Amino acid sequence: MGELAYGGSGPRTAVVVGAGVIGLSTAWFLQERGIEVTVLDRRDVAAGASWGNAGWLSPGLAIPLNEPSVLRHGLRALLDRRAPLYVPATVDPALWRFLLRFAAHSTWREWNAAARAGALLNADCFEALDVLVANGVRANPVEAPYVAAFESAQQASGLLAELRRLTQAGQQIDYTAISGGHARELRPQLSQRVGAGVRLDGQRYVDPGEFVAALAESVRARGGIIRGGFEVVDVRPHRHAATVRAAHGELVSGNVVVWATGAWSGRLARRWGVRVPVRAGRGYSFTVATEEPVPGPLYLPGVRVACTPYRGGLRVAGTMEFRPPEAKLDTARIDAIVASARPFLRGVRWGERTDEWVGPRPVTPDGRPLIGAVRAPGVYLACGHGMWGLTQGPVTGRLLAEQISTGKRPEALRACDPLR
């Protein structure tokens, strides 16, 4: 498709729509290949899911969502708005069609396909990140063990089984079952309620807003243009270029267009032959002060809450809520996270919450992202990473830039074909 779109000599210019971690990573690696980039966003840099997430760079915990047991959680979610997975009562037919497709893909066969696809991306996710940091992206990823905490060893066995299945799918993971006492030694914020744990080594974390801002700064420093307040409403492919049109009427053209708009990606993707829907699985986060410094990330799998050191305190993130991406923050979801995490943590000043946030994570029903060319010549899609956009963002950008510049799809992107 590359030769058809730009005459066989390779693209010289690209328009990237979406200034989150996926779009900016793609822009950066396109620049590495000598392509001039313009990045457009309906709001601003890191305005979507890229700012308020937990900041985890954790391929070892990139567990596909479409596990068969999620159906049980889903049924409970219809009755309990405090559940980690929340599906509000709605008459939205598109949402119910999506959930039915998600349920159809919640089998071990489909889960294994998603795990293998993720393992191919995760294999080089740190290498791609290190290329960014070594070449001008002023970020500070921190390597630290992750500690998952449970009430009992029996509860920990569920995560251990998931990690074994991920390993069998090709994911490299260094993990160890530990006692509750050892878990509390590693993370003094854990309470006496914790009776068992799992330690994962070789993982990292980062301040996500700071990282994406540094990525944008580097793109600009290398000659790229980034414009906020530019809501793209249409994309028109031509023989050797493609043109995007803003809501206010302005046109911007490039040899190629990369559509990286996260949970908003499905709006135009259907016109380009993409049949896999993308929905907003909204996550919430907030920051709390702690009595002691937090040594590293901790995870409460039983209540689906992720905690990360953040600017002298603790960022607490959780829930999966299927609502429109623009819907207002629901304080009841914040309260539900606090209520579920409080028994497992001590020395946390829950009443001093700041930075309460909700953001739309782009979720696909089969657990695989959409990365690659679509039927519109010169148009590429990069979205649908679910909760793992930060982990897989840099490697997605590098692989997609390779495909765009050479016209050849990397093997690691085969399972992520948007036209599957």
Give 261-274 pLDDT, tens digit per residue. 999 998 889 999 99
Domain span at residue 301?
A: 57-106+142-203+278-363
Same-domain pairing of 179 and 225: no
> pLDDT of 30-45, one tens digit each?
999 999 999 999 998 9
CATH of the domain at 101: 3.30.9.10
Same-domain pairing of 269 and 231: yes
> pLDDT of 326-377, one tens digit each?
999 999 999 999 999 999 999 999 999 999 999 999 999 999 999 999 999 9
The three-state DSSP-derived secondary structure of the chain is: CHHHHHCCCCCCEEEEECCCHHHHHHHHHHHHCCCEEEEECCCCCCCCCCCCCCCEECHHHCCCCCCCCHHHHHHHHCCCCCCCEECCCCCCHHHHHHHHHHHHCCCHHHHHHHHHHHHHHHCCHHHHHHHHHHCCCCCCCEECCEEEEECCHHHHHHHHHHHHHHHHCCCCCEEEEEEHHHHHHHCCCECCCCCEEEEEECCEECCHHHHHHHHHHHHHHCCCEEECCCCEEEEEECCCCEEEEECCCCEEEECEEEECCHHHCHHHHHHHCCCCCCEEEEEEEEEEEECCCCCCCEEECCCCEEEEEECCEEEEEEEEEECCCCCCCCHHHHHHHHHHHHHHECCEEEEEEEEEEEEEEEECCCCCCEEEECCCCCEEEEECCHHHHHHHHHHHHHHHHHHHHHCCCCHHHHHHCCCC
Same-domain pairing of 373 and 407: yes
Residue-level pLDDT at 78? 56
Final residue of a structural domain among 363, 382, 403: 363
Ranges of the chain with pLDDT below 70 = 1-8, 71-84, 91
Same-domain pairing of 310 and 240: no
Same-domain pairing of 101 and 248: no
Q: How many domains does the chain have?
A: 2
